[in-house]
A and B are shown apart, each in its own frame.
Chain A
Amino acid sequence: MELHEIAKKTIDGTRGPKGFPDKHIKAKPFSHAALVIQLTLGMLAALSIYGFATFDYKNINLLDSIQSTAVTIKTMFLEPHLKHFTFGEALMQVIITLGLAFLTTLFGAVIALFLALLAARNLSTGTASIIIKAGVTFIRAVPTVLWVLIFAVAAGLGSVAAVIGMTFHSVSYLVKAYSESFEELDKGVIEALKASGATWWQIVFQAVIPSSVTYLISWTFTRFEINFAVAVAMGAAAGAGGIGFDMFMASGFYYDVREVGVVTYFILFFAVLLEILATRIKKKLRAKV
């Protein structure tokens, strides 16, 4: 068969001799990944529509409620006032919330560092790694507020239960993040150190931690940002104190929209501040690498 015939047959879509690749080049090749993407998107859309159809709306008028929410938000942000606490007191409460977030992040980071070393597959045994990762997955699956409330039974509502409960969740989050950065370390480095007779602690402190320290710091700051938001929520939901509790009192107790506005401004200011700080630090760390 002449070459041009083979070419023609291939273009025509019939299988050439000797197992020539068949058919045209497809503009969009079919792949497993594409199918899974379409299925997932379809499922999400279908479940959302099913959800909207079955929700118990309790006869609320959607348009009226949206309108009144808009009015609420407008009053909140444009006419904020202080009534049940002063500016200084509110500032102090935000600092307490920051303190809760700081303590939680610090405890979480220290505990997570050790657990992550045991959970990283390249530094630990297979069994230890699997046990820790499974435990951590379970802890992460329980929402933080439930951890706080469970500890509140033993320790009473307050900062102790909040810090311990939030630490649980931080540990599980950071163990996952840390151990994944440890696992990224080049296998050759550990092997070379092992061959030269370095002990496990020497490998960890001279190679593993120095080479992943930028990731560790970056993840810790991300968690600090999250913990601030969580600390606000815990103040509201679990009586942990801080600005969240003031917000809960203003909205659920005094029904004072304008005071909620003040609290929201405080939270917003500090959250944005933390975000800018975290972005700065991450950028600086990335430039160093």
Chain B
Amino acid sequence: MQANFFARKRRNSFIYYVLLILATVAAITITDYNVVKGFTSIPKAAEWAFQNFYPNEKAMKKLPAIMDSLIETVLVSIAATTVASIFALLFAILGSNTTGVGGVVSLISRSIATLFRNIDVAAWSMILLFSFGQSVMTGYFALFFGSFGFLTRAFIESIDEVSNSSVEALRATGASYFSIIFQSVIPSSIPQLLSWILFMVETNIRQATLIGILTGTGIGFLFSLYYKSLNYSSASLVVLVIVAAIMLIEAISNYVRRVIL
């Protein structure tokens, strides 16, 4: 029995390893990935970065322009997140198991969220580019749709986790639907919701860079402009500025999370 158990366990893990290796080989073949080149490119990239990829004096002159578009990108990310979170809260309350009205409405609000979440922001930005052109609103709406989908799912999970028993208790006392929502569900889950919102702001700044490269707006546009004109020292300054902004926001949200959770 005992020997059998170990033999079976060994056989099972052997099968898993073989499957994993087969899948890897298949993936390497179809993506045309060159393993040797992949590993050698890391030191090569590092060497190149040390020689070219740091800001010089000329790049520093561009700092005011870079800061301007960074601030715009950060503001777009924040504005998209806050407005999306309001809509997401509404849909989450309707779609949640504990607070939802149930039936078709819950199903519809969940499916809308799934739809929006799974169309990537890159796809959204290209769709929006047709109508909004290279304006700040392209990025704004792309981020808004993506954040809305993600936050709805996250909010539903938080609300279900936090407020199951309190909703039941309040319902037993005869509280109305709206007093349950506003007196119990929202106050008790707000720390979690806020934590998700802050996470979304961070993510959106990263996504905004990508959208900027695709649609030609904000800080991403500046990066791709410098990158494509081989002005690597200015491009590196853009990267450093983005890193500083994201780390600052991460530090703030870590502090807020520590206090409220």
Contact = CB atoms under 8 A, between A and B. Distances in A.
Interface of A: 32-33, 36-37, 40-41, 44-45, 47-48, 50-52, 54-58, 60, 62, 65-66, 68-69, 72-73, 76, 92, 95-96, 98-100, 102-103, 106, 137-138, 141-146, 149-151, 153-155, 158-161, 163-164, 229, 232-233, 236-237, 241-242, 244, 247-248, 251-252, 255, 257, 260, 263-264, 267-268, 271-272, 275
Contacts of B30: 92, 95-96, 99
Given A40-B194, A146-B242, A271-B119, 10 more contacts: A55-B72, A55-B136, A58-B133, A72-B127, A99-B27, A141-B250, A151-B45, A155-B45, A164-B41, A233-B122
Interface in B49-103: 49, 53, 72, 75-76, 78-79, 81-83
Contact of B137 (A60, A72, A76, A252): A60
A56 B136 contact: yes
B115 interface: yes
Nearest to B47: A154
A149 B223 CA distance: 10
Dominant secondary structure of chain B at its interface with chain A: helix
B132 A267 contact: no
Range of interface residues on B (Cβ < 8 Å): 35 or more
Contacts of B232: 153
B130 A160 contact: no
B24 A232 contact: no
Nearest to B187: A28
24 contacts: A47-B79, A48-B83, A52-B79, A55-B72, A55-B136, A56-B135, A58-B133, A58-B136, A65-B132, A72-B130, A76-B127, A99-B27, A99-B28, A102-B24, A106-B24, A144-B206, A145-B210, A146-B209, A150-B239, A154-B41, A155-B37, A155-B38, A233-B210, A237-B210
Contacts of B34: 159-160
Contacts of B7: none
Interface in B222-243: 223, 227, 232, 239, 242-243
A260 B126 contact: yes
B23 interface: yes
Given A143-B206, A144-B206, A271 B136 contact: no
Interface of B: 20, 23-24, 26-28, 30-34, 37-38, 41-42, 44-45, 48-49, 53, 72, 75-76, 78-79, 81-83, 114-115, 118-123, 126-137, 140-141, 190-191, 194, 197-198, 201, 206-207, 209-210, 213-214, 220, 223, 227, 232, 239, 242-243, 246-247, 250, 256, 259-260
A272 B118 contact: yes
A168 to B, nearest CB: 9
A141 B82 contact: no
Contacts of A141: 242-243, 246-247, 250
